[in-house]
Amino acid sequence: MTTKTVVAVLFGGRSSEHAISCVTAKGVLSAIDANRFEVIPIGITREGAFTLSTADVSTYELDAANLPEVADNGTRIVWPDKAGSRELRVRDVATGADSAGSLMRSLGNIDLVFPILHGPFGEDGTIQGMLELCGLPYVGAGVLASSLGMDKHFAKTVLQQAGIAVAPWQTVTALDWQARRSAVVADIEQMPLPVFVKPSRAGSSVGVSKVSEWSQLAAAMDVAFAEDDRVLVENAIVGREVECAVLQGRPGEATRASVAGEIVVTGREFYDFEAKYLGAAGIDLVCPADLTSAELAELQELSVRAFEALGAAGLARVDFFLTDTGFVLNEINTMPGFTPISMFPRCWQETGLGYSDLITELIEVALAHRGSPSL
């Protein structure tokens, strides 16, 4: 009898993308190969409690009136108390009991952690740092690449240094906005309209506004500063929005890129949260995108270069604008949306790698790079 690889799947979390992570969990937990993997589902509440999930994730849907959320069921995951241990435990808190009355039991050894978390406290290097301290292998980018990929200012700085075109931008801190607003506004107003105002560290278009006249700037900055204390003001780029999915190879193998997908905006200002996740009209997702062989080859080469420039691992989705003068990188996402209809798995499906096989590939690549199963 073949021993299954034990995978702890993390979802939920403290960020504004909590619900997106829950729906991603539904896709992954439904499609992971049960013949090869034993799953321990760990839901992280909005308050940051790690719980042994008992929820029926098949009910998780992106319904605007009832977004899914990890409920606190009173359990607490206890991570290994030293590097080299793979034992995961859970504390079941008896009703009305204090910590001394808690009940602890072992969940056994785990082989790998799959953190399908989006946004701060999950995609930004924080959870990766915790796993590194515990000595646990995990899927996806490491601490530095996760942090860089999450922070638009520093990602653009690194990518620009690597010779990859990015949209011109200005970064404004909350302190600058409070202490020298007039000077900041004067600098920003030298940029051509329209501009996009974005939190530096947020995803899924949360906190993003399009500013078409300067009277809209203050409100847009307030929306962005509600998500982060650094805000980017970017030139709007005119071009087709195309995306490419990237997978790390096993040791000694090259990183590879998928066919392209395209976001066709027909009736909205931009590809915002409602269009991405709540079925709002005005957006068509096309995969594979209609590119020439030369355009696709260039897009794939740029995507791999961006992945390697950040020192990424595992997976990423790299988003570009195809303009009259070439490709301009919009952002790199080190833990992209992973529902069965998300662009990252769709691009790989069109390249010949199905959803369930893609999950298996990510787990096997992570184990090959970060450690063999403990059993």
Taking the C-alpha atoms of residue 359 and residue 366, their distance in angstroms, rounded to an integer, is 11
Pick the closest to residue 72 from 56, 49, 89 (CA basis): 49
The pLDDT-based confidence of 40 (bands split at 50, 70, 90) is: very high
Distance, CA of 209 to chain centre: 20
> What pLDDT, on a 0 to 100 scale, did the predictor assign at position 66?
84
User: What pLDDT shows up at residue 273?
Assistant: 52
**Are 112 and 179 contained in the same domain?**
no
Instruction: Show which of 235, 260, 275 is a domain's final residue.
Output: 235
Confidence of residue 373 (pLDDT cuts 50, 70, 90): very low
Q: How many domains does the chain have?
A: 3
**pLDDT value of position 84:** 87
In the predicted model, what is the mean pLDDT of residues 208-233? Answer: 95
- Residue 143 counted as domain residue: no
Residues 155 and 260 in one domain: yes
Do 213 and 280 share a domain, yes or no? no
CA distances from 306 to 127, 128, 278, 357 (A): 23, 20, 29, 25
Same structural domain, 56 and 105: yes
**CB within 8 A of 57, min separation 6: which ones?**
22, 25, 26, 29, 30, 41
Predicted pLDDT of residue 296:
98
Report the pLDDT averaged over residues 203-212. 83
Give domain status of residue 375, yes or no: no
Q: Could you tell me if 281 and 346 lie in one domain?
A: yes
pLDDT at 272 over 70: no
73 and 38 co-located in one domain? yes
Which tens digit of pLDDT belongs to each residue from 98-138?
555 568 899 999 999 999 999 889 999 999 999 999 999 99
Same domain, 264 and 334: yes
Asked if residue 374 belongs to a domain, the reply is no
Greatest CA separation found in the chain?
A: 70
CB atoms within 10 A of CB 22: 25
Contact 233, 195 (CB under 8 A): yes
Within a domain: 28: yes
Query: Do residues 259 and 279 make contact, with C-beta atoms less than 8 angstroms apart?
Result: no
How far apart are alpha carbons 61 and 44 in whole angstroms? Answer: 17
Residue 373 lies in a domain: no
Mean of the pLDDT values across residues 202-212? 82
**CATH code assigned at 218:** 3.30.1490.20
CA gap 317, 315 in Å, rounded: 7
Give the pLDDT mean for 225-237: 94
> CATH number, domain at 343?
3.30.470.20
CB of 279 within 8 A of CB of 268? no
- 113 in any annotated domain: yes
Q: What pLDDT was estimated at residue 101?
A: 59
* Average pLDDT, integer, range 358-369: 97
pLDDT at 60 over 60: yes
Confirm whether 210 is domain-assigned. yes
CATH number of the domain enclosing 24: 3.40.50.20
Across 265-285, average pLDDT: 60
Residue 357: partners with Cβ closer than 8 Å, 6 or more residues away: none
Taking only the tens place, the pLDDT of each residue in 312-345 is 999 999 999 999 999 999 999 999 988 888 899 9
Same domain, 227 and 261: no
**CA-closest candidate to residue 331, choices 287, 256, 255, 270:** 270
Regarding whether 160 and 283 lie in a shared domain, the answer is yes
pLDDT grade for 58, boundaries at 50, 70 and 90: confident
Residue 375 confidence (pLDDT) = 32
pLDDT of residue 2: 65
What would the pLDDT profile of 288-310 be if each residue is shown by its tens digit?
Answer: 999 999 999 999 999 999 999 99
Q: What mean pLDDT is reported for the chain? A: 91
Q: Which of 235, 261, 285 represents a domain boundary (last residue)?
A: 235
Q: Taking 70 as the threshold, does the pLDDT of residue 363 lie above it?
A: yes
- So what's the pLDDT on residue 374? 39
Residues 106 and 190 in one domain: no
Look at residue 54 in the predicted model and tell me its pLDDT: 87
Final residue in a domain of this structure, among 182, 210, 235:
235
Shared domain for 98 and 118, answered yes or no, is: yes
Give the domain range for residue 119. Answer: 5-138
Phi-psi region of 329 (alpha: psi -120 to 50; beta: other; left: phi over 0): beta
19, 124: one domain: yes
**10-19, 162-171, 187-196, 203-212: least confidently modelled range:** 203-212
Q: Indicate whether 254 belongs to any domain.
A: yes
